[in-house]
Amino acid sequence: MDEIKISAQDVNVFYGETHALQDVNVKIRDNTVTAFIGPSGCGKSTFLRCINRMNDTIEICRVKGDILIDAEDIYDRQVDPVQLRAKVGMVFQKPNPFPKSIYDNVAYGPRIHGLARNKPELDEIVEKSLRRAALWDEAKDRLGQPGTGLSGGQQQRLCIARAVATAPEVLLMDEPCSALDPIATAQIEELIDELRQNYCVVIVTHSMQQAARVSQHTAFFHLGHLVEYGETGQIFTNPQDKRTESYITGRIG
């Protein structure tokens, strides 16, 4: 239960001259939802992107330090980032459906990784994924229509469906509910809790209540530093750092 899935050691990230993350050390448990919280620009998305090497795609970005998944260094030269990203799925802060049909958006991953042997199996994965992302009822009659034609909140759920379709071991979610109504939010939170049984989930959220509701561990980032990391109940009842307290209680720190 308490096994460490992701281990970050002395992680520093630079965007050109900007020192976006400084000496981040953290061990993230498997079968656990870990929430990253902190003010805008503190480096949450940056750190999330380190975990599946998305930062590689940013020209000016340099990552120093080690990130291990299952004790394997993911920045090792032998690691194929594409393979890594199949294992470490991600839902982005801004919904980014492919310019394809709703069906193909979800079927894309399972297809390239050969997760379905035939059309009925693929159909099943697509339906199951859309159901888990609480989008099935709205999408089932328009699976052939472009994903980009959905509303913002629907697009976000489509991206969640796409991310869970490949059954990744680690799921990174960057504000997955920011454009969702309370019902869809509750459904996604329920999904996150369900995913926890089998996966390691890391979620960035600006909603303190969401962090409190869905996560077992919470990490508070501030100005590029990981200030406090602990059991969620403890962080929200008795944070140890004054900066954490100010942030979660909505104070002028």
Ligand X SMILES: Nc1ncnc2c1ncn2[C@@H]1O[C@H](COP(=O)(O)OP(=O)(O)OP(=O)(O)O)[C@@H](O)[C@H]1O
CB of 48 to Mg ion, least distance (A): 8
Q: Does 41 bind ligand X (CB under 6 A)?
A: yes
Q: Per-residue x/- marks for other proteins, 189-228, CB under 8 A?
A: -------------------xx--x----------------
DSSP-assigned letters across all residues of 110-134: HHHTT--SSHHHHHHHHHHHHHHTT
Q: Which CB atom, from 168 or from 239, has the smaller least distance to other proteins?
A: 239
Q: Given the structure tokens 């991206």, which residue do they identify?
A: 159
51 Cβ contact partners less than 8 Å away, ≥ 6 residues apart: 6, 67, 69, 74, 88, 170, 172, 202
Q: Does 89 bind ligand X (CB under 6 A)?
A: no
**Which range of residues in 22-30, 43-51, 70-78, 107-115 is near ligand X by CB under 6 A?**
43-51
CB of 223 to ligand X, least distance (A): 9
| CB neighbours of residue 101 within 10 Å | 17
> From CA 177, how far away is CA 154, in angstroms rounded?
11
Q: Which CB atom, from 43 or from 89, has the smaller least distance to ligand X?
A: 43
Closest by CA to 75, choosing from 7, 22, 19, is 7
> From CA 170, how far away is CA 52, in angstroms rounded?
9
Q: Does 182 bind other proteins (CB under 8 A)?
A: no
- Cβ-proximal residue to Mg ion, closest one: 45
Site size toward ligand X (CB under 6 A) is 14
Q: Does 239 bind other proteins (CB under 8 A)?
A: yes
Bridging pattern class, strands 61-69 and 4-15: antiparallel
Q: Per-residue x/- marks for ligand X, 206-245, CB under 6 A?
A: ----------------------------------------
| CB neighbours of residue 183 within 10 Å | 9
CA atoms within 13 A on the CB side of 12: 9
**Which range of residues in 33-41, 103-111, 182-190, 235-243 is near ligand X by CB under 6 A?**
33-41
CB of 11 to ligand X, least distance (A): 12
Q: Which of 4, 7, 9, 15 is in the footprint of ligand X by CB under 6 A?
A: 15
Q: Does 99 bind other proteins (CB under 8 A)?
A: no
> Would you say 212 and 219 are in contact if contact means Cβ atoms under 8 Å apart?
no
Q: Does 93 bind other proteins (CB under 8 A)?
A: no
CB of 227 to other proteins, least distance (A): 14
Paired with 126 in beta bridges are none
Q: Could you say which of ligand X, other proteins, Mg ion, none residue 71 binds, taking C-beta under 5 to 8 angstroms by partner kind?
A: none
> From CA 216, how far away is CA 233, in angstroms rounded?
8
> Which residues lie near other proteins (CB under 8 A)?
208-209, 212, 236-239, 244-246, 248-253
